[in-house]
Amino acid sequence: MILFAALGLGGVLATVLGFLGGLIWWFDLLASFRAQLAAGSAIVGLVLVAGGWRRIATVTLTGSLVNIGLIVPLYLTIAPEGPPDLRVLSFNILADNKEYDQVVEYIASVEADVVFLHEVSRPWEEALQEADLPYEMTINRASDLIFATLVLAPEGAQVVSNGWAIDQPRSVVVAFDVEGTPVRLMGIHPLAPSDEDRARLRNEALELAGEWATEQNGPAAIVGDFNATPWSYPFRRLTSQGLIDSEQGFGLQPSFPADTFWARVPIDHLLHNAGFDTIGRTLDSAIGSDHLPLVVDLIVVEEAA
């Protein structure tokens, strides 16, 4: 029982530290695993109850309930229904992925209006250039970079890259009309927070994206591989600014790593302002990547357009 007691108290500590990601970068990593902490603490707590360690069991189960309380709101919102005005596909294809034909076939089958492909390297650029896809393709990778985000957009769309080097915003803005309404989408792929400097750069990139979104007058959204979960410090700052998580109403949708279900966390997102509503949100098969592709169906909210 001592081992289970240590696990239970460790889970509670991780739960608390996850709220303090704005203070120390690796605390924020703990916030990524709310689902795992909820399930693990529940199991450990029940074992402690059965073993008679009721005080530590109570603390452990309380920790589980805290994490559950952070996840449940994703299931409570009722999404509107109807045909989409806009379908967006965001897929971190993994630079080393060799499933060129399968990914191209998948993109064609989704029939998205706009596609953001992350970690696109030179071989992927060549494969996509050779593919017969009904989009205007914009390559944003500078020659000195291994990969960047590539955009497949409708004809006539305006695409502006903000740069993909380590210290740049790592974002691209696509502007076009949907049924006469101007809309703007920002595709992003901040750095993974694997150390203090990279965590800082990730947070700065997400902050810049949030500032851009809140400055837009019409329908606008941020979409991509955020390298942050809904409970992380920079993500919570985005939603506190009025941006809406498309995951609300569709439940927890973990997208990475694709091949390890028990460790999978939701880091692929679409956040939008009041100019959009989400009516559909799905994750599909990885097709050789370590991410699951994200497909989001949106409608334009007339009174906010």
Q: Domain ranges for the chain, please list them.
A: 2-71, 81-304
3-state SS of the chain is CHHHHHHHHHHHHHHHHHHHCCCCHHHHHHHHHHHHHHHHHHHHHHHHHHCCCHHHHHHHHHHHHHHHHHHCHHHHCCCCCCCCCEEEEEEECCCCCCCHHHHHHHHHHHCCCEEEEEEECHHHHHHHHHCCCCCEEECCCCCCCCCEEEEEECCCCEEEECCCCCCCCCEEEEEEEECCEEEEEEEECCCCCCCHHHHHHHHHHHHHHHHHHHHCCCCEEEEEECCCCCCCHHHHHHHHCCCEECCCCCCCCCCECCCCHHHCECCEEEEECCCEEEEEEEECCCCCCCCCCEEEEEEECHHHC
- The CA distance from 201 to 208, in Å, is 11
Mind listing the pLDDT tens digit for each residue in 263-297?
A: 999 999 999 999 999 999 999 999 999 999 999 99
Q: What's the pLDDT score for residue 305?
A: 43
6/79: higher pLDDT: 6
Placement of tokens 């007339």 in the chain = 302
Average pLDDT over residues 80-88: 90
Question: For residue 79, what pLDDT band results from cuts at 50, 70 and 90?
Answer: confident
Placement of tokens 């009722």 in the chain = 78
List, in sequence order, every residue forming a beta bridge with 86; answer none if it has no partner.
298
How many residues does this entry show for the chain? 305
Does domain 81-304 bear CATH number 2.60.120.260? no
Mind listing the pLDDT tens digit for each residue in 48-61?
A: 998 888 999 999 99
Helices 100-110 + 122-130 axis angle, to 10: 60
What are the structure tokens assigned to 260, written together? Answer: 């390890």
Decide: 171 and 209 in contact? Cβ < 8 Å.
Answer: yes
Question: For residue 77, what pLDDT band results from cuts at 50, 70 and 90?
Answer: confident
Average pLDDT over residues 72-101: 92
Decide: 165 and 145 in contact? Cβ < 8 Å.
Answer: yes
For the whole model, what pTM was predicted? 0.95
With a cut of 70, say whether residue 304 has pLDDT above it. Answer: no
- The CA distance from 58 to 40, in Å, is 14
R_g (Cα) of the chain, nearest Å: 20
- The CA distance from 155 to 176, in Å, is 9
User: Per residue in 172-188, is it b (16+ CB within 10 Å) or e — as a string?
Assistant: bbbbbebeebebbbbbb
- For the chain, give the mean pLDDT: 95
Average pLDDT over residues 190-205: 97
User: Checking DSSP bridges between strand 86-92 and strand 114-120, what pairing results, if any?
Assistant: parallel
